[in-house]
């Protein structure tokens, strides 16, 4: 394996040593060096290229083979070929439209070139006798072989063919391939490509050298295994993917370790408040809840900031654990912030925290962007004075103006929905030179490999069982043309005292369309069920009205709730036992699982009806089958990963974690495991190399990963 990668490195990689601390040139920006115009720099920036080294890591998406010439007689119609031919004559024709037609020939056959747009200069260039090197798709026409708008060059004298495949890079409008190629060539010469892995590590993991791998990928020989290149299975690719994963792991592990050096308030469990709250709860904690609570308690008692992810399937009871953790901070005279990504979810937390903490005479305040100014001012004042011990809210909580007297613990629900900036902002609301502890909750079950990769800087606790007494939810798949059956089922359930959700189809393209769809669905449902009291919630509804509708549904005043996916997280109405989801095939698996988790919260048997529009595509069918056959969120997430890849599962754009460009978590798990082990070792034993490696791969982006 190694041989093929090292053989091809024609040039020497400068030095045989490993990269030092001095990655200076690599870190300098392109514009600094005056290498490119501001205009080009802006285009490169669009591609994420800011430094010379970024160019080195800008790898081809495919290659063109310009190393061979195909004689015209061997050229097959439909294929793209490179060939050489001599111009016989050229002519501007006006029928059926203006075009330049150039007849050419080699020893064996003829080929016409057709240009629908051309410059006068081309007419001069393409005179009889001119020798052309051409690349284009061969077409057959009544006049024989032809190429339309081929790329061509007029040859002057002997021009040798390239010996390596020609790379085609990801690019952006106005940035030509040859510009990228030239810049990357310069970068390969200018940058320090010495290895950041020691010889021993390379041997142990059977990895190709870094310099030889990048040089190979930018210019592979014509003989290279094209399938391995295309599938990124070539040893040179393996090395790049390994390096990328390693950088991610080093960065996250380093941030994990650094936390141990920062200070946070020591909040030992005193227990008097927690004991009182538990005594008032109508249920016993499950064994899993006890276990994770113990983990959180130990963390809080330490003088370093906790950064723990509390994972648990929908309905596993994370909120009560969070509330008990909050009490531990309050017992020590520190304050707590509870932040949720949507108004609905935040309000539910507010209601629960208030119900649990008010009997203990703890003042909980509500903070939301939608609330009245006077209310907000009063909440702020009570937080600043320390009178209020807990604030629950949306991102209004992290605005500059909100100040805590002593924030000791920040609880963030559905943390993957917040950007890094927002998460950081909350961490910075510290007091007395100390950072608050952080507890993050997520009901999006993240498979182990993903957690290992993207949350390597966090400690993770998992609530892996549901509270007892839940009746399993029956899931049904019903084609939309059997809507009548669904309607009568819903009617029966509601008339018998039950409550139902009706989830509108998801329109991803536009919020306006989504709103129209919600309103249309609501009208249709009202017409279908004139005898029922029906409410509507959607994303655009003012917070106050939303709260009113939710409260009415919760109180049983409304029998049915028509909703968009805004109810996906956190809504808790135990009496609702039926859910209908329209166009389920358009929704993600995680989303369907979350939605379905809104029912089955009480002791009554519940059902979730997934309606779909036939005919289903093969993937849609596979996905619905997963949700139909599985109720365990972790299992669903694992299958989702197989079907869709990690990006969508994590909600890449919102997660704030730079996605992997080269490695693929669905297939490169073994590499990830190796990279993780090596990252820990390098941080202990080879810190200089670890730093050089991070600098190389993350450069300026590195700050972000500390979040
Ligand atoms: P999630 O993990 O989805 O946020 P919640 O914290 O909202 O779950 O809990 C779901 C429901 O289960 C709530 O009504 C909560 O009061 C209840 N619950 C939590 N823990 C237990 C338990 N140990 N036994 C019975 N019910 C519980
Ligand atoms: Mg919850």
Q: What is the pLDDT of residues 127-179, one digit of tens each?
A: 999 999 999 999 988 878 999 999 999 999 888 999 999 999 999 888 999 99
- Please tell me if the CB atom of residue 318 comes closer than 6 angstroms to any atom of ligand 1: yes
Closest CA to 502 of 483, 482, 481, 525: 525
- Please tell me if the CB atom of residue 287 comes closer than 6 angstroms to any atom of ligand 1: no
Determine the atom of ligand 1 nearest the C-alpha atom of 463. Answer: 2
Q: How far is the CA of 356 from the centre of ligand 1 (A)?
A: 13
Q: How far is the CA of 319 from the centre of ligand 1 (A)?
A: 7
- Nearest CA, atom 4, ligand 1: 318
Residue 660 pLDDT greater than 50, yes or no: yes
Of the ligands numbered here, which is closest to the C-alpha atom of 594?
A: 1
Q: How far is the CA of 611 from the centre of ligand 2 (A)?
A: 26
CA 387 to chain centre: 40
Work out whether strand 166-168 and strand 62-64 pair parallel, antiparallel, or are unpaired.
antiparallel
Instruction: Give the mutation target among 280, 282, 286, 320 for probing the ligand 1 site: most ligand atoms within 8 A of CB.
Output: 320
Q: How far is the CA of 587 from the centre of ligand 2 (A)?
A: 20
What's the whole-number average pLDDT of the chain?
Answer: 85
Q: How far is the CA of 265 from the centre of ligand 2 (A)?
A: 26
Determine the atom of ligand 1 nearest the C-alpha atom of 597. Answer: 3
- Please tell me if the CB atom of residue 316 comes closer than 6 angstroms to any atom of ligand 1: yes
- State the pLDDT confidence band at 700, using cuts at 50, 70 and 90: low
- Please tell me if the CB atom of residue 320 comes closer than 6 angstroms to any atom of ligand 1: yes
SS3 45: helix
Q: How far is the CA of 107 from the centre of ligand 2 (A)?
A: 76
- Nearest CA, atom 5, ligand 1: 317
Helix 343-357 vs helix 543-554: crossing angle, to nearest 10: 60
What pLDDT score does 428 carry?
A: 63
Q: How far is the CA of 467 from the centre of ligand 1 (A)?
A: 7
pTM: 0.68
Helix (H) or strand (E) holding 108: none
Residue 513 pLDDT greater than 50, yes or no: yes
- Nearest CA, atom 20, ligand 1: 317
Tokens 């953790």 sit at which residue? 325
Residue 613 pLDDT greater than 80, yes or no: yes
SS3 624: helix
Please give the C-alpha separations between residue 136 and each of 70, 72, 436, in angstroms, as whole numbers.
12, 12, 62
Please give the C-alpha separations between residue 694 and each of 11, 246, 248, 450, in angstroms, as whole numbers.
25, 9, 8, 20
- Nearest CA, atom 10, ligand 1: 315
Distance CA 643, CA 590 (A): 12
Of the ligands numbered here, which is closest to the C-alpha atom of 313?
A: 1
Question: For the residues 211-239, what does the mean pLDDT come to?
Answer: 94
Q: How far is the CA of 285 from the centre of ligand 1 (A)?
A: 9
Higher pLDDT pick, 697 / 562: 562
Helix 589-596 vs helix 618-629: crossing angle, to nearest 10: 30
Determine the atom of ligand 1 nearest the C-alpha atom of 281. Answer: 16
Q: How far is the CA of 601 from the centre of ligand 1 (A)?
A: 8
Determine the atom of ligand 1 nearest the C-alpha atom of 316. Answer: 2
Work out whether strand 144-148 and strand 110-115 pair parallel, antiparallel, or are unpaired.
parallel
Structure-block tokens of residue 457:
């800087």
Distance CA 623, CA 617 (A): 10
- Please tell me if the CB atom of residue 289 comes closer than 6 angstroms to any atom of ligand 1: yes
Question: For the residues 609-636, what does the mean pLDDT come to?
Answer: 89
* pLDDT > 70 fraction of the chain, expressed in percent and rounded: 87
Q: How far is the CA of 317 from the centre of ligand 2 (A)?
A: 7
Residue 647 pLDDT greater than 70, yes or no: no
- State the pLDDT confidence band at 38, using cuts at 50, 70 and 90: confident
What pLDDT score does 458 carry?
A: 81
Q: Where are the alpha helices (DSSP H) in 90-190?
A: 120-125, 177-190
Instruction: Give the mutation target among 281, 311, 317 for probing the ligand 1 site: most ligand atoms within 8 A of CB.
Output: 317
Residue 437 pLDDT greater than 60, yes or no: yes
CA 321 to chain centre: 28
Q: What is the DSSP letter of 672?
A: H
Q: Where are the alpha helices (DSSP H) in 606-668?
A: 618-629, 633-644, 646-650, 652-655
Beta strands in 318-404 (DSSP E): 335-339, 364-367, 390-393
């Amino acid at each position: 394996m190694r041989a093929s990668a090292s053989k091809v490195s024609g040039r020497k990689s400068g030095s045989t040593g490993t990269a030092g601390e001095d990655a200076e040139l690599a870190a300098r920006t392109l514009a600094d060096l005056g290498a490119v115009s501001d205009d080009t720099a802006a285009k490169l920036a669009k591609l994420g290229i800011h430094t010379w080294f970024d160019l080195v890591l800008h790898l081809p998406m495919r290659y063109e083979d310009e190393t061979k010439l195909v004689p015209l007689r061997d050229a097959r119609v439909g294929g793209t070929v490179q060939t050489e031919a001599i111009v016989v004559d050229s002519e501007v024709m006006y029928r059926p439209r203006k075009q330049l037609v150039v007849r050419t020939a080699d020893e064996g056959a003829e080929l016409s070139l057709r240009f629908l747009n051309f410059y006068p200069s081309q007419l001069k260039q393409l005179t009889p006798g001119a020798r052309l090197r051409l690349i284009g798709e061969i077409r057959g026409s009544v006049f024989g072989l032809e190429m339309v708008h081929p790329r061509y060059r007029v040859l002057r004298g002997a021009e040798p063919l390239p010996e390596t495949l020609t790379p085609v890079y990801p690019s952006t409008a106005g940035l030509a391939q040859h510009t990228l190629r030239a810049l990357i060539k310069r970068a390969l010469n200018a940058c320090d490509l010495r290895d950041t892995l020691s010889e021993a590590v390379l041997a142990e993991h059977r990895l190709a050298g870094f310099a030889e791998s990048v040089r190979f990928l930018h210019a592979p020989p014509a003989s290279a295994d094209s399938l391995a290149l295309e599938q990124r299975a070539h040893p040179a690719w393996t090395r790049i993917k390994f390096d990328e994963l390693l950088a991610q792991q080093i960065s996250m592990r380093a941030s994990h370790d650094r936390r141990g050096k920062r200070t946070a308030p020591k909040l030992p469990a005193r227990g008097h408040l927690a004991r009182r709250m538990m005594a008032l709860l109508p249920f016993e904690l499950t064994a899993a809840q006890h276990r994770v609570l113990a983990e959180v308690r130990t963390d809080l008692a330490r003088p370093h900031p906790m950064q723990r992810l509390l994972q648990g399937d929908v309905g596993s009871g994370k909120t009560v654990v969070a509330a008990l953790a909050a009490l531990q901070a309050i017992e020590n005279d520190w304050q707590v912030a509870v932040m949720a990504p949507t108004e609905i979810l935040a309000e539910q937390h507010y209601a629960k925290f208030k119900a649990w903490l008010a009997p203990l005479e703890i003042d909980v305040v509500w903070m939301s962007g939608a609330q009245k100014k006077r209310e907000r001012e009063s909440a702020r004042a009570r937080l600043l004075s320390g009178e209020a011990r807990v604030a629950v809210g949306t991102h209004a909580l992290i605005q500059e103006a909100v100040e805590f007297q002593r924030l000791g613990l920040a609880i963030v629900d559905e943390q993957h929905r917040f950007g890094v900036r927002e998460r950081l902002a909350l961490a910075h609301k510290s007091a007395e030179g100390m950072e608050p502890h952080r507890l993050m909750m997520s009901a999006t079950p993240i498979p182990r490999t993903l957690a290992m990769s993207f949350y390597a800087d966090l400690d993770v606790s998992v609530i892996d069982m549901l509270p007892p007494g839940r009746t399993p939810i029956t899931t049904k798949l019903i084609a939309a043309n059997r809507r009548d059956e669904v309607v009568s089922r819903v009617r029966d359930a509601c008339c018998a005292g039950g409550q139902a959700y009706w989830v509108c189809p998801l329109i991803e393209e536009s919020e306006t369309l989504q709103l129209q769809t919600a309103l249309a669905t609501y009208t249709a449902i009202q017409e279908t069920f004139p005898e029922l009291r029906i409410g509507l919630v959607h994303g655009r509804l003012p917070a106050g009205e939303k709260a009113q509708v939710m409260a009415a549904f919760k109180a049983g005043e409304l029998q049915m709730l028509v909703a968009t996916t805004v109810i996906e997280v956190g809504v808790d109405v135990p009496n609702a036992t039926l859910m209908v989801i329209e166009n389920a095939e358009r929704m993600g698996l995680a989303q369907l699982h979350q939605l379905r988790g809104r029912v089955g919260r009480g002791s009554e048997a519940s059902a979730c009806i997934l309606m779909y529009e036939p005919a289903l595509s093969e993937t849609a069918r596979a996905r619905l089958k997963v949700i139909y056959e599985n109720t365990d969120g972790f299992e669903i997430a694992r299958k989702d990963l197989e079907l869709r890849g990690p990006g969508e599962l994590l909600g890449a754009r919102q997660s704030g974690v730079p996605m992997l460009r080269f490695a693929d978590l669905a297939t490169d798990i073994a590499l990830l495991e190796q990279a993780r082990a090596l990252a820990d070792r390098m941080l202990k034993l080879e810190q200089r190399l670890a730093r050089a490696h991070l600098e190389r791969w993350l450069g300026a982006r590195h700050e972000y990963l500390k979040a």
